[in-house]
Amino acid sequence: MYRVKPFSLSWRNYVSYRVLVLHGPSLNMLGQREPAIYGSTTLKDINARLEAYANAHNTTIVAQQTNHEGMLIDWLHSAVDTYDGVVLNPGAYTHTSVAIRDAIAATGLPVVECHLSNIHAREPFRHTSLIAPACLGQISGFGWRSYILALDALLGHLRARDQNNS
Quick check: is 115 catalytic?
yes
Residues whose CB is less than 8 angstroms from the CB of residue 31 and which lie 6 or more positions away in sequence, other chains included: 40, 41, 42, 43, 45
What is the signed CA dihedral for 98, 104, 107, 112, rounded to 10 degrees? Answer: 180
Q: Which of 17, 23, 38, 147 is catalytic?
A: 38
Q: Which of 23, 83, 115, 147 is catalytic?
A: 115
Examine the pLDDT at 159 and tell me if it is beyond 70.
Answer: yes
Output the average pLDDT for the chain: 88
Examine the pLDDT at 46 and tell me if it is beyond 80.
Answer: yes
Query: How confident is the model at residue 29, as a pLDDT?
Result: 86
Query: How confident is the model at residue 93, as a pLDDT?
Result: 92
Domain 16-165 superfamily per CATH: Dehydroquinase, class II (3.40.50.9100)
Backbone angles phi, psi at 46, to 5 degrees: -60, -45
Quick check: is 38 catalytic?
yes
Boundaries of every domain in the chain: 16-165
Any idea what the Cα angle at residue 62 is, between residues 109 and 58, rounded to 5°? 85
Examine the pLDDT at 1 and tell me if it is beyond 50.
Answer: no
Examine the pLDDT at 133 and tell me if it is beyond 90.
Answer: yes
Identify which of 66, 58, 73 has the alpha carbon closest to the alpha carbon of residue 14: 58
